[in-house]
Structure formats: C-alpha cells, structure tokens
Amino acid sequence: MFKDVLNDLESALKELSDINRALDEALVVAVTDHRGNITFANEKFCEISKYSHEELLGQNHRIVNSGYHSKEFFRQMWRTIARGQVWRGEIRNRAKDGTYYWMDTTIVPLLNERGKPYKYVSFRIDITERKRAEELLRRSDKIEAAAQLASSIAHEIRNPLAAIKWSLQTLQLEGDENRKQVDLILSEIDRIDGIVGDFLMLAKPGDSAVQMGDIRTLLASTVQLMQIHARKQGVRIVMDFADPLPSVRMAESQMKQVFINLIKNAIEAMPGGGQITVHAEPLEPGRVRVRVVDQGPGIPEDQLARLGEPFFTTKEKGTGLGLMISDKIVKQHGGTLSIQSQVGKGTTVEVVLPAAGGSTSSAS
C-alpha cells in the first residue's frame, strides 16, 4: 500500500516536472512578490529581455518598461490583480539593448488564506512578429489610400502649374522689375512640382529594370553623392561594409533613391553637425542588412509610431512622402524597412533585402 502511494507520488511529481518544463520552454514566466518585485524569471524571460537573472531578480517590471503605455494603463492592471482577479493584455516592453518587443500577457494572483494576493505569476507569449505584421498591414492600407489619392490629383495639379510657370518665365524675360518676386514664385512652383512628383512616385514607383546588382557599389556612390550636402551641414558620413557582400536583385535607380532619402533625412536630423554611419552586412539566410545610423536628437515614441504615415513628418518642411516611397520600394523588392530611435541617442533606419544565393560582391 505504502509502495503504491509512493509510486503515485513519484508519477505525479514527474508529471508536474514535465508540465513545468513544457511551460518553461513555451512561455516567458516571472513571479513577483505582492509589491511587484521579481523573485523568479525563467530563461526565456532573460533571453527576450537580454537581462541576466541577477539583473532581473529584486527589480520590478519597470526595468523593461518601454514608455509606450500610459500610467492609467498600469493603474488599471494593478487594480485588477490587487482584487485577486486575473489580468490579460498586450504589453510593449523594451529590452536591455533598447529594442522593443510585444508580449501577450496573463497575470495570475496567488491568494493567501484571507483571499489577498501574496504573489503574482505572469505568463507571456512573444507576439512581436504578429504586431509587426499588423502594423505593416495598417500602413499598407494607408499607403494604398494615399497612392489612389495621388494618382487621381497629381496630373490635375501639374498641368496648371506648368501653365503658370511658363507665364512667369515669359514675364521674367521682359525686365528686371519684380524679378525677385518672380524668382521666389518660380522657386515655390518647383517645390510644389517636386511634391507632385513624390505623389506620382508613390502611386507608381518607376519601372526601372530589375537585375543583379552590387549593393556595395550602389551604397558607396550614394554616399559620395550626398557628401557635399553633408559637409554643408557639418556632417561626416562613414561607411562600414562587410566584405564580401551578397549581390542583390534590384532596380538600382529605385534603390538608390531609397538610400538618398534615408541619408538626406539623417543629415537634416543633425543641423549642428555630427556623424552618420552606413553599415552593410550579410544576414543568414540569404539577406543583406543596411543600417543608416545618425547622432541626431532621436524621435519621441509617439512620433516614431507614426513615421511612414501619409503627410506625417518630423521636419519643419516636408510631406512625409519620401519615407513612404522608400518603404514601398523596399517592400516591392521583398524587403523590410524599420526604424528604431531613442531621444538623445539618435536614430537607426534598417533596410533588409533578399540577397542572391551564393553570389557575392567584394571590395577587390
């Protein structure tokens, strides 16, 4: 009889151990005391947050607070679990290296004999990729709407602009009177014409031929092209390219426009000067990553979330279309464009493109 009980106990303990191991492999798990201080963090918590066990234990979850959610969001969460109720929600956190990740979170209060919480156990699932996909879909819908608008009105604007410009140029030839005013109007017409050009590019990026290309050469020529503009702003552009780099199947003129836009944005983010570093490296499997890193003031969270939306820009003069066009071109090449920024630390724009299998380009 005693042996049977012992066997049943061993079997139950093994089953509990197996369940615990399965949960540990599948979920991010943390235990906190009633004050919210972390008393246990599993390996997956350390892996995704990039903090060690020693760095997490004794801390509260503010250590991974991204600043994305309001104080009221957390107040409601604490009110729920303090009443002994289970809380479920999605939380955006920040890892030790500054990257962001999303967690589908369930917090379960453990209650003492008086029905009061004495510990909280949280179970989390990484949903970062799902949130990125949702964001891409949201932006794609907005871009599509803007593209349809662009296609319908761009030609209607450009035709009368051409007529006005021709009339002013004729007036300009007749004498020096009011020349400054005419020059100013012509300059503004050219600026509007450039915006209309952006509209048309958004509606239908150029039909450049797609072929195997040397991403190193394209980046180097783009940097060289932007050096004069950079020097005027007191900005230094540094190239940091791995060797070799895989070849990329691309429409070179379109891809060059992408990196011109990104470098130009980085230059304009540093009116007081600074350094831009253009990194390029291969990624496995079969991808190339290009990063444009500036030392500008960084972008606040609320503005960062809106970058890439039609007509939203952080610049005094701008339409926001340049980044939208760049994003659309990169997507059409089967790639991704993402932005990370911290106020006071600068901004990194990352472009990841599919690379040709086995084909490489080098500095030699």
Among 265, 339, 263, 271, CA closest to 301: 339
pLDDT (tens digit per residue) in 199-235: 555 555 555 567 889 999 999 999 998 998 899 899 9
In a domain, 109, yes or no: yes
pLDDT-derived band at 57 (thresholds 50, 70, 90) equals: very high
Find the mean pLDDT for residues 238-263.
90
Calpha distance 161→126 (Å, rounded): 52
Decide which of 127, 156, 190 is a domain's last residue: 127
**Residue 116, C-beta contacts closer than 8 angstroms, at least 6 positions apart:** 34, 84
What does the pLDDT read at residue 22?
58
Classify 364 as helix, strand or coil.
coil
How does the average pLDDT of the chain come out, rounded?
A: 80
pLDDT (tens digit per residue) in 297-312: 988 877 777 665 555 5
In a domain, 328, yes or no: yes
pLDDT (tens digit per residue) in 32-55: 999 999 999 999 999 999 999 999
CATH number of the domain where residue 238 is located: 3.30.565.10
Find the mean pLDDT for residues 161-178.
64
* pTM for this entry: 0.51
Q: What domain range includes position 72? A: 1-127
Query: Is 85 a residue whose pLDDT tops 80?
Result: yes
Calpha distance 30→9 (Å, rounded): 27
In a domain, 76, yes or no: yes
In a domain, 40, yes or no: yes
- Ramachandran region, residue 84 (left: φ > 0; alpha: ψ -120 to 50; beta: rest): left
In a domain, 187, yes or no: no
The count of structural domains within the chain is 2
